[in-house]
């Protein structure tokens, strides 16, 4: 009897030990599973660049920003190098762009891609931009233009910059190049772009090369272009994560700085890629265009940086770059672009050593962004036709270029008889029998 009790007790004790061991093993397995899940989460959500906490974004607005309390006077007017870069509008721009169909030579808006939607990921492309460090930027530019840039065989030197993808370089941008060579057949064009500096990119440019036009694409070297300017230290802080890039596209803000650095380093004319060139810029020197004027005083109230003409090392460019580095705000559309040039010019206007001209809106911005749709609209009646022909005559006689305000016009279709269709017939290089005629 006693032996049976001892046996039962031993069995009970053994069962108890086994039960505790199984619970310990289960706890150990749970801990291992938890560690595995934590590791996976860290791999998925870890960031590669330290970013400071973002400030609350200010709402984007197209309304004019006061730069000094009152309108500005025109500054008295005389480079022959051109730059262009894609200008984006305010934040939240859909990934569509206005397309120029080669066969009909008419603008049409793209429909939204019907492919299945992919899971939305955190935007990290700007940091890929920061890693671009080509070694031969300066050498390739000098080789293309000739070692002595001042005695280049190019009648006019053009630079465009493109920090977007190759797929987004559409027919509108190609047509902009057409207008440049139409007005400057002996000019040269360097597109400062990583995406276009490729075999696929050169296929886009090949039709121009086949026509004998001088064009190439070269990847940017930000370190070289920003060296020995206020942009150099700002760019280093950005790469270290000590600058808040903000809600506005970092690519857009880098393009605002890049255009200034290109002009400061080489001198010439900068153009956005949504600017149609109407006539030669050869006789323009150290000029910037007004976007709007005060109706009462007739003085400028807002400048724009979509078209700029400056000599190499011009002091106003130095001030623009300094203002960018010291007052950068990535949360407010236009703060580092059109508003910046307006602020600086309002401060230096009239000071000795700053020799430049402010051209009236008709020079580059004959139609405001809020009315750009009127250029794409065909005449509905005799009254429309009269206005259209009058506006066309005014643009042809007074404007060097027409800014299409990409954000507002990319979805518009150029109707038959519209001002845009008529201008396209004037400025096309790859014209054909189906192109609109005057």
Residue 378 lies in a domain: no
> Cα–Cα distance between 311 and 307 in angstroms, integer?
14
Q: What is the DSSP string of 268-326?
A: EEEEETTEEE-S--TT--SEEEEEEE-TTT--EEEEEEEEEEE-TT-HHHHHHHHHHHH
Per-residue model confidence as pLDDT tens digits over 162-189: 888 999 999 899 999 999 999 999 888 8
- Give the range of the structural domain holding residue 290, as residue numbers without chain letter: 81-110+124-362
In a domain, 427, yes or no: no
Helix pair angle (171-183, 419-427), 10° resolution = 60
Residue 428 lies in a domain: no
Mean pLDDT (whole number) for 22-50:
60
| DSSP letter string, 140-166 | HHHHHH-SSGGG-S-SSEEEEE--S-S
Whether residue 383 lies inside any domain: the answer is no
**More confident of the two residues 64 and 213:** 213
pLDDT above 90 as % of the chain: 54
Average of per-residue pLDDT across 42-46: 46
Q: What is the mean pLDDT of residues 209-232?
A: 94
Q: What pLDDT, on a 0 to 100 scale, did the predictor assign at position 106?
A: 41
Distance CA 399, CA 371 (A): 17
Angle between helices 199-210 and 171-183 (to 10 degrees): 40
CATH number (domain holding residue 315) = 3.90.550
- Of the given ranges (41-50, 131-140, 184-193, 385-394), which has the lowest mean pLDDT? 41-50
Separation between Cα atoms, residue 425 and residue 438, nearest integer Å: 7
Residue 241 domain-assigned (yes or no):
yes
- pLDDT tens digits for 48-60? 444 444 443 433 3
CA distances for 359 relative to 166, 222, 244, 365, 399, angstroms? 33, 30, 34, 10, 10
* More confident site: 117 or 247: 247
Residue 253 located in a structural domain: yes
* Distance of alpha carbon 207 from the chain centroid: 24
Does 34 reside within a domain?
A: no
**Residue (of 82, 182, 206) closest to 428 by Cα position:** 182
3-12, 228-237, 277-286: least confidently modelled range: 3-12
- Average the pLDDT over 27-54 and give the result: 56
* pLDDT digit string, tens, across residues 90-149: 444 333 333 333 333 444 433 333 344 445 444 444 445 555 555 588 888 888 887 666
The answer to whether the beta carbons of residues 270 and 263 sit under 8 Å apart is: yes
- Asked if the model's pLDDT at residue 71 lies above 70, the reply is no
Residue 167: inside a domain: yes
Tally of structural domains, the chain: 1
């Amino acid at each position: 009897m006693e032996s049976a009790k001892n046996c039962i007790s031993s069995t009970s004790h053994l069962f108890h030990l086994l039960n505790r061991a199984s619970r310990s093993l289960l706890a150990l397995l749970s801990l291992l599973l938890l560690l595995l899940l934590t590791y996976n989460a860290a791999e998925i959500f870890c960031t590669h660049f330290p970013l400071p906490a973002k400030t609350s974004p200010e709402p984007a607005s197209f309304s004019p920003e006061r730069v000094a309390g009152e309108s500005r006077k025109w500054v008295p007017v005389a480079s022959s190098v051109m730059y262009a870069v894609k200008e984006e509008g305010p934040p939240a721009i859909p990934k569509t762009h206005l397309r120029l169909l080669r066969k009909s030579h008419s603008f049409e808006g793209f429909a939204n891609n019907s492919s299945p939607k992919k899971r939305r990921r955190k935007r990290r492309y700007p940091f890929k931009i920061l890693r671009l460090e080509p070694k031969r930027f300066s050498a390739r530019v000098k080789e293309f233009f000739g070692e002595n840039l001042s005695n280049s065989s190019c009648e006019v030197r053009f630079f465009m910059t493109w920090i977007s993808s190759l797929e987004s370089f559409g027919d509108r941008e190609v047509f902009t190049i057409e207008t440049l060579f139409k007005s400057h057949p002996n000019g040269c064009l360097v597109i400062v772009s990583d995406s276009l500096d490729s075999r696929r990119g050169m296929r886009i440019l090949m039709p121009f090369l086949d026509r004998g036009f001088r064009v190439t694409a070269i990847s940017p070297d930000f370190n070289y272009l920003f060296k020995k300017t206020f942009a150099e230290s700002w760019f280093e802080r950005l790469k270290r994560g000590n600058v808040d890039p903000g809600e506005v596209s970092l690519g857009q803000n880098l393009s605002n700085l890049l255009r200034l650095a290109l002009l400061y380093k080489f001198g010439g004319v900068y153009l956005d890629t949504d600017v149609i060139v109407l006539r030669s810029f050869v006789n323009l020197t150290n000029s910037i265009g007004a976007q709007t004027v005060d109706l009462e005083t007739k003085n400028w109230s807002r400048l724009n940086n979509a078209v700029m003409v400056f000599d190499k090392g011009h002091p106003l460019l130095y001030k623009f770059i300094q203002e960018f580095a010291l007052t950068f705000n990535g949360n407010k559309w236009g703060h580092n672009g059109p508003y910046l040039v307006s602020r600086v010019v309002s401060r230096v206007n009239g000071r000795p050593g700053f020799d430049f001209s402010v051209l009236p809106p008709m020079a580059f911005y004959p139609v405001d962004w809020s009315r750009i749709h009127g250029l794409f609209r065909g005449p509905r009646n005799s009254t429309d036709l009269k206005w259209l022909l009058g506006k066309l005559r005014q643009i042809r006689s007074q404007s060097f270029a027409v800014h299409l305000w990409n954000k507002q016009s990319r979805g518009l279709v150029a109707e038959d008889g519209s001002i845009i269709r008529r201008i396209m017939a004037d400025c096309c290089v790859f014209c054909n029998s189906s192109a609109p005629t005057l």
